[in-house]
């Protein structure tokens, strides 16, 4: 018999892991368990009373843990004899995915064998009984974990106080906020002296609050040259710094890192995560900090609560976008934010739930991949606001959906659902699409097993995907991303000298030697990004 399943637990992964290794918790969670005692490290003896159809027996045996990788996974093996009733053995693979700081997805896979009278009952009855036992176990285990999660304060105390702490931890000089400059007013202004380049941002966008140097490129690879920019209007540095500091200290954007994956969360659920001017300004610094962090191999961008992002916060437009000069400066900040997401050297995945509109769509399109929930609703309502969607956002939309669909989206200003978004290529995957709830068999209905419902959690699928990317060679992904993005942006966007430098650096890297060695030794490579 084989069976797989999962359970979403509202607790930190460390809390769930501790519970899975606590004999008292396991005994309280296993249906019919009379005793569970430790006999050696990772070994227990157990007595369980179980009923399968007409057969009820007391099984005595042992439980052992192996392949232990805290706090991520282990294999639980149980063997027991019920005398005349027969015997049973089960190997259970358990893994924990940290979806959020206080949300854990427990996945399990069971392979079991039975003998004696139990085997005579037939596979359908045994499968139904096993499913019922699994349902009961996780219901009881959930109660145990909920109690621990409510009592535990150690995890929250260990977390950074806020985004500012995160930036300080990564040695990002938040206080050094650059001015925001608008692009040149005329083509001739683009021929400004090279000295202007030295003052421009090195995130391939107009200068924004960011770190002094670009860390996106792997070591020993020349940084991409910054564009020539001539300031025609400026936000004073002190004002920009105040905007950014407000975002960081109030956690309007939150960052959490686990398993080499950083989750960046837009955190204004009461406003459907609409982007304030300060949030546009702060994102380049956040992306640069993550790019510098060698412990981060992939980035997920999502929104708190039910929505990804409803776009720009129109309520503040009277203060930050009241005239042409302000509107131009505002658009520079938007483009710089989205450029920072595009230009980070690590793969990015947008997790879309609920509204993904306007500026939110630009954020999503700036990521390498988009995973949507079935409730996601996309749209670009610029035509309803007499706004022309920016050049860079329009180019991204065109590259994803093609000319005809892009015109429909921009001309009509209509919203479209996740199914339509998948069909036209706006998103890469819709969680749970095409998966239907499985009906219960006669025996499952008879014993009261729960119906297995279709899962629809884009974050779970996005984390699994991002984690799979995190194990690949960072230099390869960084180089491929740069080449593909440059080619997609059209003639002139790709620096061939830098492209060749990326390729040469990868060929000369330690990771290349490690990849060859791992292939020859038939093992998984361990890349270091150098």
Residue 148 belongs to a domain:
yes
- Per-residue pLDDT of the chain in tens (530 residues, 90 and over written 9): 778 888 889 999 999 999 999 999 988 988 888 888 888 888 999 888 877 666 677 878 888 999 999 999 999 888 878 677 767 788 889 999 998 898 999 988 888 777 666 666 656 666 666 777 777 888 888 888 887 766 654 444 444 444 444 555 544 444 334 334 333 333 333 333 333 333 322 223 333 333 333 333 333 444 444 333 323 334 556 677 788 888 988 999 999 999 999 999 999 999 999 999 999 999 999 999 999 999 999 999 999 999 999 999 988 988 988 888 888 888 899 999 999 999 999 999 999 999 999 999 999 999 999 999 999 999 999 888 788 888 889 999 999 999 999 999 999 999 999 999 999 999 999 998 865 455 555 444 544 556 554 457 899 999 999 999 998 999 999 999 988 888 887 645 667 777 778 777 877 888 878 877 887 788 888 888 88
Tokens of 354: 């609920």
Q: Is 130 helix (H, G, I), strand (E, B) or coil?
A: helix
| pLDDT reported for residue 235 | 52
Q: Cα 24 vs. chain centroid, distance in angstroms?
A: 33
Which pLDDT score is estimated for 525? 86
Q: What is the DSSP string of 271-301?
A: GTTPBPHHHHHHHHHHHHHHHH-TT--EEEE
- Domain presence at residue 281: yes
Q: Can you read off the two tokens belonging to residue 198?
A: 């030295």
29 & 106 share domain: yes
Q: Are strands 2-9 and 103-115 parallel, antiparallel or unpaired?
A: antiparallel
Question: Which residue has 């007391």 as its token pair?
Answer: 58
pLDDT for res 52: 67
- CATH code where residue 499 lies: 1.10.12.10
DSSP-based three-state secondary structure for 181? strand
185 within domain boundaries: no
CB count in 10 Å sphere of residue 285: 28
311 and 433 inside one domain: yes
Structure tokens belonging to residue 242: 């105040």
Its sign, for the CA torsion 100, 378, 316, 270, is negative
Do 267 and 366 lie in a common domain?
Answer: yes
Sheet holding 87-100, edge to edge: 2-9, 103-115, 87-100, 73-81, 55-69, 43-52, 33-40
Q: What is the CATH number of the domain that holds 7?
A: 3.30.530.20
Question: Is 134 domain-assigned?
Answer: yes
Domain presence at residue 132:
yes
Do 510 and 389 lie in a common domain? Answer: no
d(CA 129, CA 353): 36
- The predicted structure's pLDDT at residue 512: 73
Same domain membership, residue 452 and residue 479 = no
User: What does the pLDDT read at residue 445?
Assistant: 52
Same domain, 463 and 486: no
* Statement to judge: residues 492 and 405 lie in one domain: no
Would you tell me how many other CB atoms lie within 10 Å of the CB of residue 306? 13
Domain shared by 492 and 449, yes or no: no
Flag whether 196 is in a domain.
no
Region of 438 please: left (phi>0), alpha (psi -120 to 50) or beta.
Answer: beta
User: Which domain, by its residues, includes 527?
Assistant: 475-530
Parallel, antiparallel or unpaired: strands 355-357 and 377-379:
parallel
Which residues lie across from 416 on neighbouring strands?
A: 378
Number of domains in the chain: 3
Cβ atoms < 10 Å from Cβ of 238: 10
Residue 458 pLDDT: 93
Are residues 400 and 518 both part of a single domain? no
Structural domain ending residue among the three candidates 123, 156, 189: 156
Establish if 383 belongs to a structural domain: yes
Same domain flag for 483 and 451: no
Which residues, at least 6 apart from 278, have a Cβ–Cβ distance to it below 8 Å? 243, 244, 246, 247, 252
Domain boundary among 89, 122, 156: 156
Contact 122, 11 (CB under 8 A): no
Taking the C-alpha atoms of residue 397 and residue 425, their distance in angstroms, rounded to an integer, is 10
Q: Which of 132, 138, 137, 140 is CA-nearest to residue 447?
A: 132
Distance CA 261, CA 466 (A): 7
Q: Judge if 40 and 78 occupy the same domain.
A: yes
Cβ distance 99 to 13 under 8 Å? Answer: no
pTM: 0.74
Domain end point (choices 436, 471, 506): 471
Residues sharing a CB contact under 8 Å with residue 412, sequence separation 6 or more, in sequence order: 383
Q: What is the reported pLDDT for 90?
A: 83
CATH code of the domain covering residue 286: 3.90.226.10
Same domain, 401 and 515: no
The verdict on residue 211 lying in a domain is no
Which residues neighbour 73 within 8 Å (Cβ) at sequence distance 6 or greater?
Answer: 67, 93, 94, 95, 96
- Is there a contact between 281 and 180 (Cβ–Cβ < 8 Å)? yes
- Which residues does residue 55 pair with via DSSP β-bridges, in sequence order? 52
Cα–Cα distance measured from residue 26 to residue 385, given in angstroms and rounded to the nearest whole number: 58
């Amino acid at each position: 018999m084989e069976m797989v399943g999962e359970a979403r637990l509202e607790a930190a992964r460390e809390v769930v892991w501790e519970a899975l290794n606590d004999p008292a918790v396991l005994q309280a969670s296993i249906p019919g368990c009379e005793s569970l005692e430790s006999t050696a490290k990772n070994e227990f003896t157990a007595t369980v009373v179980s009923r399968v159809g007409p057969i009820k027996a007391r099984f005595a045996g042992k439980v052992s843990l192996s392949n232990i990788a805290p706090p991520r996974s282990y294999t639980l093996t149980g063997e027991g004899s019920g005398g005349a009733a027969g015997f049973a053995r089960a190997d259970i693979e358990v893994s924990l995915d940290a979806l959020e700081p206080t949300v854990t997805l427990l996945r399990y896979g069971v392979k079991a064998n039975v003998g004696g009278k139990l085997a005579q009952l037939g596979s359908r009855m045994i499968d139904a009984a096993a499913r019922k036992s699994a349902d009961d176990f996780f219901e009881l285990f959930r109660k145990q974990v909920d109690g621990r999660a409510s009592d535990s304060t150690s995890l929250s105390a260990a977390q950074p106080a806020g985004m500012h702490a995160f930036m300080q931890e990564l040695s990002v000089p938040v206080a050094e906020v650059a001015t925001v400059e608008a692009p040149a007013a005329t083509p001739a202004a683009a021929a400004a002296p090279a000295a202007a380049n030295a003052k421009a941002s090195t995130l391939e966008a107009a200068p924004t609050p960011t770190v002094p140097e670009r860390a996106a490129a792997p070591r020993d690879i020349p940084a991409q040259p910054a564009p020539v920019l001539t300031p025609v209007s400026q936000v004073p540095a002190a004002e920009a710094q105040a905007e950014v500091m407000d975002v960081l200290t109030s956690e309007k954007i939150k960052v959490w890192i686990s398993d080499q994956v950083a989750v960046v969360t837009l955190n204004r659920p009461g406003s459907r995560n609409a982007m304030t001017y300060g949030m546009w300004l702060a994102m380049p610094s956040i992306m640069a900090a993550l790019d510098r962090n060698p412990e981060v191999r992939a980035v997920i961008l999502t929104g708190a609560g039910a929505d990804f992002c409803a776009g720009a916060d129109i309520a503040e437009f009277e203060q930050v976008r009241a005239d042409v000069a302000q509107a131009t400066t505002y658009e520079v900040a938007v483009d710089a934010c989205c450029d920072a997401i595009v230009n980070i050297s690590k793969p990015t995945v947008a997790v879309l739930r609920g509204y993904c509109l306007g500026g939110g769509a630009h954020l999503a399109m700036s990521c390498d991949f988009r995973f949507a929930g079935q409730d996601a609703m996309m749209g670009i309502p610029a035509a309803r606001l007499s706004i022309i969607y920016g050049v860079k956002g329009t180019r991204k939309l065109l590259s994803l959906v093609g000319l005809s669909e892009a015109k429909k989206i921009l001309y009509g200003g209509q919203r479209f659902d996740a199914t339509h978004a998948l069909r036209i290529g706006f998103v890469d995957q819709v969680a749970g699409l095409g998966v239907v709830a499985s009906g219960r068999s006669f025996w499952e209905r008879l014993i009261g097993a729960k119906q297995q419902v279709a899962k629809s959690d884009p974050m779970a699928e996005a984390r699994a995907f991002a984690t799979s990317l995190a194990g690949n060679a960072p230099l390869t992904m960084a180089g491929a991303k740069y080449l593909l993005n440059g080619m997609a942006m059209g003639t002139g966007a790709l620096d061939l000298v830098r492209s060749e430098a990326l390729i040469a650096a990868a060929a000369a890297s330690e990771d290349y030697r490690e990849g060859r060695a791992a292939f020859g030794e038939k093992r998984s490579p361990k890349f270091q990004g150098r």
